């Protein structure tokens, strides 16, 4: 037992000094004979000393050590031991192991302090808390190529109200809802990750699986708990990805809509109305690939609606240069390119950012396929591969890949433009 408790703090005896030294069992007995009235206290100290615990140096505001207790004073050993263990734990964690807290990890308030909820609601709160970003996605504004207008509006809605709250009062109160819509692969989710990285808010990454339950009545309860948790952890950002999956137009489903789905949608609308009437720093950021399927009541509550369209020619050129620079090194692999970026940016018109990344990966894979047979014939006990010399990726290689990789959302461009002209709010 002594080996297992060596790391615990030492407890020095807080009692009047005596000529009798506490060392051996005989000394403790003589001490009891001299001070029979303090026998109970001494026994407690002796038992604590056997376990290696110590409460010395615990001061509550006086700044003095080894305070001599007065006669008849009741000593709160439980409180002293609790403080000692807390101090030893922090010292052991930070000093002994040099454990510095990770600044990229967000510390949340404990759910035990989530008052005003019964046990059922706290269980639902634990379910919703799983979708909180605890780690930094490490996506910054400068990492997003293009989308300057969208980034500026997101900053006005989320970043600036938190950084300069004195400017956003009265009629200038911050927006409570923002919708990012556009073709898939254009950077809507990337903007949300930048918000989670740059804004230092509690970020709820919510999908349909989070707030839709098969149990009757649980879906609307999950929606309510979501917004209560967002207020509890404020400032917060609630990101609703693929919004059309949970807030499609009511009454349009063939055969009628299920009442559970209607109750969940109604609760979501009610909670968003509550945000508009409150001063809580809770912001709803939504993304949708099919904005024409959204309910009109939800569109009214999403005050800003921003089209995240296909990248411009300058943005496409910057993306190709980013993914296929003239020289790129990765461990023992070196890839060289000879590309006419201006020509390629013109040829990739209609491609989304995700499509361009896919084309760049395929172009870089072409020279890699030529050496697979040589790598399979290379037999060595070590895992280290010999120096690999890849062929240079040329403009002709890129155009050949482009001919076999079609854009994913080029045909929807006109439909997004038509919806923007009718429902735009920037």
Here the CATH number for the domain that contains residue 237 is: 3.40.50.300
pLDDT at residue 100 greater than cutoff 50: no
The residue from 66, 96, 126 where one domain ends is: 96
In a domain, 5, yes or no: no
Residues 84 and 55 in one domain: yes
Q: What is the reported pTM? A: 0.69
Mean local confidence (pLDDT), 42-65: 43
180 or 127: which leads in pLDDT? 180
The reply to whether 241 and 168 lie within a common domain is yes
Please report whether residue 423 resides in a domain: no
Backbone φ/ψ region at 373: left (φ over 0), alpha (ψ -120 to 50), beta: alpha
Residues 244 and 270 in one domain: yes
Answer yes or no: do 300 and 320 share one domain.
no
Question: Are 169 and 285 part of one and the same domain?
Answer: yes
Residue where a domain terminates, one of 61, 96, 131: 96
Choosing from 267, 287, 307, the residue where a domain stops is 307
Residues 300 and 330 in one domain: no
Q: Which residues are annotated as a binding site for ATP?
A: 182-189
Residues 160 and 267 in one domain: yes
pLDDT of residue 103: 45
The pLDDT of residue 325 is: 92
11 falls within a domain = no
Q: What is the pLDDT of residue 49?
A: 42
* Of the ranges 27-31, 208-212, 225-229, the best mean pLDDT one: 225-229
> Is the per-residue pLDDT at 233 higher than 80?
yes
Per-residue model confidence (pLDDT) at position 105: 54
pLDDT of 60 higher than 50: no
Cα–Cα dist 291/293, whole Å = 5
Which residue did the predictor score with more confidence, 423 or 79? Answer: 423
Q: Are residues 282 and 402 in the same domain?
A: no
Binding-site residues, please? 182-189
Boundaries of domain holding 77: 25-96
In a domain, 418, yes or no: no
The CATH number that applies at residue 389 is: 1.10.8.60
pLDDT at 44: 45
Comparing 63 with 97, which gets the higher pLDDT?
63
Average pLDDT over residues 343-358: 93
How confident is the model over 374-403, as a mean pLDDT? 76
Same domain for 87 and 125: no
Between 342 and 38, the more confident residue is: 342
Q: Considering its fold, how many domains does the chain have in total?
A: 3
pLDDT at 101: 40
Examine residue 169 and say whether the peptide bond preceding it is cis (omega within 30 degrees of 0).
Answer: no
Q: What is the 3-class SS of the chain, one letter each residue?
A: CCCCCCCCCECCCCCCCCCCCCCCHHHHHHHHHHCHHHHHHHHHHHHHHHCCCECCCCCCCCCCCCCCCCCCCCCCHHHHHHHHHHHHHHHHHHHHCCCCCCCCECCCCCHHHCCCCCHHHHHHHHHHHCCECCECCCCCHHHCCCCHHHHHHHHHHHHHHHHCHHHCCHHHCCCCEEEEECCCCCCHHHHHHHHHHHCCCEEEEECHHHHCCCCCCHHHHHHHHHHHHHHHCCCEEEEECCHHHCCECCCCCCCCCCHHHHHHHHHHHHHHHHHHCCCCCEEEEEEECCHHHECHHHHHHCCEEEECCCCCHHHHHHHHHHHCCCEEEECCEEEEEECCHHHHHHHCCCCCHHHHHHHHHHHHHHHHHCCHHHHHHCCCCCCCCCCEECCCEEHHHHHHHHHCCCCCCHHHHHHHHHHHHHHCEC
Same domain for 358 and 340: yes
pLDDT of 58 above 60 = no
pLDDT of 341 > 90? The answer is yes
Tell me, yes or no, whether 254 lies in a domain: yes
Instruction: Look over the chain and give the mean of its residue pLDDT values, rounded to a whole number.
Output: 75
**Would you say residue 20 lies in a domain?**
no
User: Are 147 and 251 members of one domain?
Assistant: yes
Separation of alpha carbons 243 and 240, rounded Å? 6
419 part of a folded domain:
no
Note the pLDDT of residue 252: 67
Span of 98-107, 288-297, 320-329 with lowest mean pLDDT: 98-107
Confidence of residue 362 (pLDDT cuts 50, 70, 90): very high
Q: State the pLDDT at residue 75.
A: 58
Residue 72 domain-assigned (yes or no): yes
Report which listed range, 44-58, 228-242, 279-293, 312-326, is most confident.
Answer: 312-326
Whether 34 and 133 map to the same domain: the answer is: no
């Amino acid at each position: 037992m002594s080996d297992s408790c060596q790391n615990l703090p030492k407890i020095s005896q807080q009692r009047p000094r005596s000529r009798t030294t506490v060392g051996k069992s005989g000394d403790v007995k003589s001490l009891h004979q001299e001070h029979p009235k303090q026998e109970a206290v001494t026994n407690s100290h002796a038992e604590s000393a056997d376990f290696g615990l110590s409460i010395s140096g615990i001061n509550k505001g006086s700044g003095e050590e080894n305070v001599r207790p007065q006669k008849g004073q009741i000593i709160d050993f439980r409180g002293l031991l609790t403080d000692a263990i807390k101090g030893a734990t922090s010292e052991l964690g930070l000093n002994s192991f040099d454990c510095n807290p990770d600044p990229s990890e967000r510390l949340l308030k404990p759910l035990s302090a989530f008052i005003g909820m019964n046990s059922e609601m706290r269980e639902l709160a634990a379910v919703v808390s799983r979708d909180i970003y605890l780690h930094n996605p490490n996506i910054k504004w400068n990492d997003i190529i293009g989308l300057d207008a969208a980034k500026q509006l997101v900053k006005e809605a989320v970043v600036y109200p938190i950084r300069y709250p004195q400017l956003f009062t009265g009629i200038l109160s911050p927006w409570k809802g923002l919708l990012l819509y556009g073709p898939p692969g254009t950077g809507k989710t990337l903007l949300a990750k930048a918000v989670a990285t740059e804004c230092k808010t509690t970020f709820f990454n919510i999908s349909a699986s989070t707030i839709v339950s098969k149990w009757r009545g649980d879906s609307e309860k999950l929606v309510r708990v979501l917004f209560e948790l967002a207020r509890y952890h404020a400032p917060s950002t609630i990101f609703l990805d693929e919004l059309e999956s949970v807030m499609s137009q009511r009454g349009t489903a063939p055969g009628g809509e299920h009442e559970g789905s209607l109750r969940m949608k109604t609760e979501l609308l009610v909670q968003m109305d509550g945000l508009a009437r409150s001063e809580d720093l809770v912001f709803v950021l939504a993304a949708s690939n099919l904005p024409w399927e959204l309910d009109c009541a939800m569109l009214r509550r999403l005050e800003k609606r921003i089209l995240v369209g296909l990248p411009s020619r300058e943005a496409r050129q910057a993306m190709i240069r980013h993914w296929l620079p003239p020289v790129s090194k990765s461990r023992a692999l070196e890839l060289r390119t000879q590309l006419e970026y201006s020509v390629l940016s013109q040829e990739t018109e209609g491609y989304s950012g995700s499509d361009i990344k896919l084309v760049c990966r395929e172009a870089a894979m072409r020279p890699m396929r030529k050496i697979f047979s040589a790598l399979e014939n290379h037999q060595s006990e070590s895992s280290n591969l010999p120096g690999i010399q890849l062929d240079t990726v040329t403009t002709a290689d890129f155009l050949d890949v482009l001919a076999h990789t079609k854009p994913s959302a080029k045909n929807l461009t006109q439909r997004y433009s038509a919806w923007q002209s009718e429902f735009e709010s920037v």
